[in-house]
Chain A
């Protein structure tokens, strides 16, 4: 069962060197060692992962953070037979690990070794895959399609807009976002501006939660910026759908879905 490990570029500093040595040692002990690729300015995720799959890897493990995982998942979406693994290292951008039930650090190797594989949905925005969410801010026009019925959402005030496939723990625990469902969850949170004399008053406004299969976001003459999976910025108009492709991913027993 050939493994391929892709190290993110931020793990090249001296502080991470010892951790990577211990990681490789642990993987060897567990019998799941494999080839290693390191992201650099000259080597893209796509190049490394495509080459590894061509060489016969059937499990590609992203070693890094949420962004590393998202970038690898985007490439693997078209490789149905390849399973995605994740070893979260470092402290920044580690939200997905908790959802997948994977501990941050070297203990993640034991989750890889246990190899519990689940299939999760992927989102598609203008024909690009995403695994986590799309985030924006403003008052765009949103058109939803669900069960072949179309409705429009007009926002009366600026909102934080989030279209989720696999999102932060709080939402999943509330039962709002399930990456194994065939729908995306749109969360619209009104932006409440507080003045200093209102700081002690609670101004929590009820957010909207709308499950949809297809979503079109447009913003008239002004272009609105949307951030995909926390690292890629695109402009409206966009069409967001649930992808027909699924992703096989190694998860822990403590996963939240």
Chain B
């Protein structure tokens, strides 16, 4: 069960007072409240808190993003962008949930991983209306 509000569900927790530089990799859940520069890879779930600042390419099974992320995001199953999230980069996910107020600046690919890019156009940062596709 992917519980993004429950820190104890995570195997790796990066607190707000910690900055990570390099290749952060885990086979368990990752919860980030601090800063990460480099790359993030997990075979489980990723949760990015509201205060988190990430400059990295990210790969995860499921992801819930509430903070800032610069980099490409590849999620095998479900990606949730919370109202406070700001994404600058391309997004690939099987299921994408964008909450009202979330900012997505990049290309977006949904459904099967082999399908072509759905929408494009980086550069103009704007709020995305609420879309839920499951």
Q: Does A146 contact B (CB under 8 A)?
A: yes
Q: Does A205 contact B (CB under 8 A)?
A: yes
Number of A-B contacts (CB under 8 A): 70
Distance A205 CA – B18 CA, assembled complex (angstroms): 11
Q: Does A208 contact B (CB under 8 A)?
A: yes
Whether the Cβ atoms of A146 and B26 lie closer than 8 Å is yes
Q: Does A140 contact B (CB under 8 A)?
A: no
Known contacts A151-B20, A151-B38; A206 and B13 CB within 8 A of each other: yes
Q: Which secondary structure characterizes the binding site on chain B?
A: strand
CB-based nearest A residue for B9: A175
Distance A210 CA – B19 CA, assembled complex (angstroms): 13
Whether the Cβ atoms of B27 and A150 lie closer than 8 Å is no
Q: Does A51 contact B (CB under 8 A)?
A: no
Number of interface residues of B (CB under 8 A): 25
Residues of chain A contacted by B20 (CB below 8 angstroms)? 151-154
Distance A155 CA – B16 CA, assembled complex (angstroms): 10
Whether the Cβ atoms of B25 and A149 lie closer than 8 Å is yes
Whether the Cβ atoms of B15 and A190 lie closer than 8 Å is yes
Known contacts A206-B33, A211-B28; A154 and B21 CB within 8 A of each other: yes
Contacts of B1-45 to chain A: CB distance below 8 A: 7-8, 10-28, 33-34, 38, 41
Contact of A211 among B12, B19, B33, B41 (CB under 8 A): B12
A interface residue count range (under 10 / 10 to 19 / 20 to 34 / 35 or more): 20 to 34
Contacts of A157-184 to chain B: CB distance below 8 A: 157, 159, 174-175
CB-based nearest A residue for B12: A210
Contacts of A95-142 to chain B: CB distance below 8 A: none
Whether the Cβ atoms of A146 and B25 lie closer than 8 Å is yes
Known contacts A175-B8, A206-B7, A208-B34; A150 and B14 CB within 8 A of each other: no
Known contacts A155-B18, A205-B16; A211 and B24 CB within 8 A of each other: no
* A residues adjacent to B (C-beta < 8 A): 146-147, 149-157, 159, 174-175, 188, 190, 205-211
A-B contact pairs, 12 of them (CB 8 A): A147-B25, A149-B23, A152-B20, A152-B21, A153-B19, A188-B18, A190-B15, A190-B17, A206-B7, A206-B15, A208-B15, A209-B11
